[in-house]
Structure 1
Amino acid sequence: MPAFKTLDDLHDIAGKRVLVRVDLNVPVSDGAVTDTTRIERVAPTIMELSGKGAKVILLAHFGRPKGKPVADMSLKLIAPAVEEVLDHAVLFAGDCIGETAAAEIAQMQNGDILLLENTRFHAGEEKNDADFTQALAANGDLYVNDAFSAAHRAHASTEGLAHHLPAYAGRTMQAELEALEKGLGKPARPVVAIVGGAKVSTKIDLLMNLVKKVDALVIGGGMANTFIAARGTNVGKSLCEHDLAETAKQIMIEAASAQCAIILPVDGVVAREFKAGAANEVVDIGAIPADAMVLDVGPKSIDAINDWISRAHTLVWNGPLGAFEIEPFDAATVAAAKHAAERTKAGQLVSVAGGGDTVAALNHAGVADDFSYVSTAGGAFLEWMEGKELPGVAVLSKVG
């Protein structure tokens, strides 16, 4: 991974205006923030800069306002939650550029924290427009990007600013990049990847990249059915993308040539209906009833997955193994997650996980805090796993 500057490279910043790109795209219900995880992630960077006397100016987007102001996508709604998490006053400016922003910034004292209005209220943000980027840059002396989750977008506040101001990675960005380097950049081998979720179609690039980088690829969730069906096995009424049979075969061919073991379920938990407590049974994969669907991998498969986790020195995880939202179809995901967490706590495994459903699944299993790193970035984490360059990361290593 190319070198990038961090907060450790920032000295004598008292009085400096520091533009900090953060991710405040948090869930809101009835005007209140319902999950402050993303705010908590960026708090260390904000408070470190504030503590050193910088004038901390927060840049963020919220929702998809499509380049114009939308009242219920104003960051003013988020400001109270930011104040609460930081335990520090947070000022607010009704625009992110121009006189409104400049006036608020001019009144800032050293250590103050100011949240600027939603950058996406301007069409120039998502277009990475030069004039808009210049207007943003006029607000600051330094630029810190602490929004890995938005790093796959080449927008003005995530990529453009780094060409105008000295650029640094915030603590969350730094932790994410260091964890990802341990996951797939320069991992301790053997490396095992677990990829689950509903559909192969959303993860073709991911699977094609992983088979060239890992020693074993565990495929679970609904997407496993597509691979099983591609081998000629009947999967009953299970979720399955039959039209992707050739794609699945190609991925298995690529894996074989790269000497990557593909681990598919050998048994499954089947039911006739998808609801909590539905009557279910364990069957071998070759004996799935025509009127049933596989909703979780079975105990023999769990043993095989945990055996691979036991052999691994690095684990990369994206997507649940079954329909974990409904009991008892969470058993495999919980069992594998707990086993990975135990080995991580024992210092025997580096475990990196990410993607929306993955975070929810690990929280459900009660082990998210025991993994080496759990990324809250959805799209950016997936694109990193696909081997794609992330503009917001690449620019940190190319400038300054």
Structure 2
Amino acid sequence: MVRFDSAILLQKELDLKSQVTSAVSTIKYLFEAGAKIILLSDWNMKINSKLLVVESVADFLSSVLQLKVAPSRCISNCSLSKMEELEKADILLLENLSEFKGELANCSKFAEQLSSVVDIFVNDSFSNSHKILASTVGVPRFCSACVAGFHFEESLCQLKMAAQINKKPCIAIIGGGNLFDKASAVRYLASRCDGLVFVGMMAFQIMHALGLHVPLNLLEGGPLKEASNIVQLAQNRKIPILYPKDFWCMTNDFPKQMEIFPAYGILDGWIPVDPGPKALDEINSLLTGCKKIIWIGPVKFRLPSQDIYGASKLVSMLDRLTQSNCEITVIGNMACKAVMKESSFVSVYNMVENASVVWEFLKGRKLPGLMALDRAYPVEIDWNAAYSHPSQPLVVDIGSGNGLFLLAMAKRREDLNFLGLEINEKLVRRCLDCVHQYGIMNGYFIATNATSTFRSIVSSYPGDLVLVSIQCPNPDFNKPEHRWRMLQRSLVEAVADLLASDGKVFLQSDIEAVAVRMKEHFLKYGKGKLSVVHNEDCTETDRKGWLKENPFGVRSDWEQHVVDRGAPMYRLMLSKSTRPN
């Protein structure tokens, strides 16, 4: 299944620019590899007014791909699990996802329906990676493998390049408005760059924070504190903040009559539409000599004119800087269009058209669409540095939390190495501090999403994997009935594959339904390699088969809390057989 970006492949004037080529290459690569392909996406009239129904979109994609794409209405007909159409066509297009409430709601049942005949999920819609959608976040939970397409990968590389402040001096040119929502991203830029230039509505918030007079109709309600914090940060770092000192303005009564006003003297009834000549001269002076420029957001004020002179002039400045080896990243649809229209050196720009994803990334937020994918661990692990004896048998605790269980086990069993995989980076830092503080040579912790990285991390370990423990999983604190969902098929399969013969899996929870679901998942997706151990080291079981005591004699902090309040724990042990069941 390929989740493609309709804004790329369905645009009216399709050209063979890089992102279109990479998006097409994803589908063609899979087709040439012999895969049966299900395409899905959302689309609307803004993208292409001629493409509304699935049949017309399928015809359009057929012409773009030079491959036959067959339309299907199996979502509406609830017949996705049957998919007779897939037997007759190699590439199938499902209906417009925007027509289904389950898409925006990330409905689990809807996601399961979409993925009912899917083995491998390919996300090639990077522009939606900051959203939580059923087609980008929900579907991966039900697939054996989830990977990025070529366009997604290319866009991710562009995003990393945009956020990397690797050359000095670096100036950020910030356009558009809505400072309240983007304040944390602007603070990040203020903390890394050597100067800020505001060329949009945010400029008025900054001017107001600097104590300058700004007409009330040009101010957003609320972000004064955020603007003041940004100004204070820039002043502490002694970096310049530029805002337009003058504006081209117009009135609603005489829209073709343009006048220049100083920033502090805009008359009532006049609306700023473009930076004035003095403002552009100051920007040009600041940019001269820069080695990196990040331009994010449009040169846009209250009412943009038909042909914005400021954006054109800005592109001319940037063109000159490209000739002196200045690295320039342009972010946002309007900014990229200005470059493509006005620049003579388009190919040297790093352009990212979807600004929403970049703003979220600069805020320091995780991208849900990216986090849902399987991905190799980004840093090669030096096991010799992690452990004094890296070939010793390995015990992995998935969701290790504050690490108390693993640290206590490491002290008891110096003949084993212990690895904690935990998604909370702060907890991992604390655990590593404890490892160093107490001189533990057989314990190590990694901040990661084990669901997607377990296989790539553990497969590189030089010794045998003898035990995997999952204790009280709780990724959704508000919905106890969903706590088991961290345990996905791909993780179970990886554990079953990598576990040594006679290796063990220890599962426990204080919620019986969660423990039952974990047991069912391991027996269902363990490839017949795992079976329940009914008597582990003489530990008694109750009438339902749950272990009455912890077989290790070491409790996690949550287990201790549950036991102290007199509540039951539901535990079981599985073993990997040398012969499949």
Task: Please confirm whether the aligned pair reaches a TM-score higher than 0.5, indicating the same fold.
Answer: yes
**Residue in 1 that maps onto 2:200:** 221
Out of 21, 26, 30, which is 1:49 matched to?
30
Give the counterpart of 1:234 among 213, 226, 244: 213
8 Å CA contact 1:195, 1:317 repeated in 2: yes
Whichever residue aligns with residue 105 of structure 2, its letter is K
Which residue does the alignment assign to 1:388? 365
Q: Which moved more, 1:184-193 or 1:272-281?
A: 272-281
Cα 1:290/1:155, change in 2 over 3 Å: closer
Task: Please list the CA deviations of residues 229-284 of structure 1 after superposition, one character each: whole Å capped at 9, or x if unmatched.
Answer: 33333345873337543432222112333454322123322334486532322x44
Cα separation, 1, equivalents of 2:80 and 2:206: 58
Distance 1:98 1:314, change over 3 A: farther
Match of 2:334 in 1: 357
Partners of 1:130 and 1:199 in 2: how far apart?
33
Task: Tell me if 1:148 matches 2:126.
Answer: yes
**Residue of structure 1 aligned with 2:172, choices 193, 197, 201:** 193
CA distance in structure 1 between the partners assigned to 2:135 and 2:147 by the alignment: 13
Aligned to 1:175: 154
Higher Cα Rg: structure 1 or 2?
Answer: 2
* Matched-pair contact (CA < 8 Å) for 2:136–2:372: no
**Over aligned residue pairs, what C-alpha RMSD do you find?**
3.3
1:23 corresponds to 2:20 = no
Q: Distance in 2 between matches of 1:268 and 1:180?
A: 32
| Aligned residue type for 2:95 | E
CA contact (8 A) 1:191 1:214 kept: yes
Query: Relative contact order (alpha carbons < 8 A, sep ≥ 6): 1 or 2 greater?
Result: 1
Who is 1:316 aligned against? Answer: 294
CA contact (8 A) 1:183 1:350 kept: no
Q: How far 1:146 moved relative to its partner?
A: 0.8
Aligned residue for 1:270? 249
Distance between the aligned counterparts of 1:39 and 1:114, measured in 2?
Answer: 20
Q: Distance in 2 between matches of 1:143 and 1:335?
A: 44
TM-score by length of 2: 0.56
Tell me if the contact between 1:209 and 1:386 (Cα under 8 Å) persists in the aligned partners.
yes
Mean Cα deviation higher: 19-28 or 243-252: 19-28
TM-score by length of 1: 0.78
**Across the two proteins, how many residue pairs are aligned to each other?**
365
Q: 1:311 to 1:55 in 2, by over 3 A?
A: farther
- The alpha-carbon deviation at position 183 of structure 1 amounts to 1.2
Tell me how far apart the structure 2 counterparts of residues 358 and 165 of structure 1 sit (CA, whole Å): 39
**Cα distance in 2, alignment partners of residues 168 and 229 from structure 1:** 46
Q: Does 1:261 align with 2:245?
A: no
**Equivalent pair of 2:210/2:231 in contact (CA under 8 Å):** no
1:1-400 correspondence to structure 2 within 5 Å = 19-24=1-6, 34-36=12-14, 42-63=23-44, 74-96=53-75, 98-99=79-80, 102-108=83-89, 112-163=90-141, 164-185=143-164, 187-235=166-214, 239-241=218-220, 244-273=223-252, 277-281=256-260, 283-289=261-267, 292-323=270-301, 325-326=304-305, 330-344=308-322, 346=323, 348-365=325-342, 369-370=346-347, 372-396=349-373, 397=375, 398=449, 399=452
Which residues of structure 2 form unaligned runs of 5+? 46-50, 376-448, 454-581
User: 1:337 and 1:386, CA in 2 relative to 1: closer, same or farther beyond 3 A?
Assistant: farther
Q: Deviations over 1:281-320 (max 9, x none)?
A: 2x44344445533322122322332344343333222222
Percent identity for Structure 1 against Structure 2:
24
Find the counterpart in structure 1 of residue 409 from structure 2.
Answer: none
Measured after TM superposition, the shift of residue 202 of structure 1 is: 4.4
| CA distance in 2 between partners of 1:262 and 1:235 (Å) | 17
The 3 A distance-change label for structure 1 pair 78 and 311 is farther
Note the alpha carbon deviations across 1:86-114, whole angstroms, 9 max, x for none.
23321111134634762122223xxx332
Contact 1:24–1:78 (8 Å) recurs in 2: no
Note the C-alpha offset of 1:182.
Answer: 1.2
Alignment-derived partner of residue 427 in structure 2: none
| 2: CA distance, partners of 1:101 / 1:378 | 39
- Asked if structure 1 preserves the Cα contact closer than 8 Å seen for 2:296 and 2:355, the reply is no
Q: 1:149 to 1:140 in 2, by over 3 A?
A: same
In 1: Cα distance, 2:37 partner to 2:326 partner = 37
C-alpha change, 1:123 and 1:216, in structure 2 (3 Å) is: same
Cα shift at 1:198: 4.0
Query: What is aligned with 1:8?
Result: none
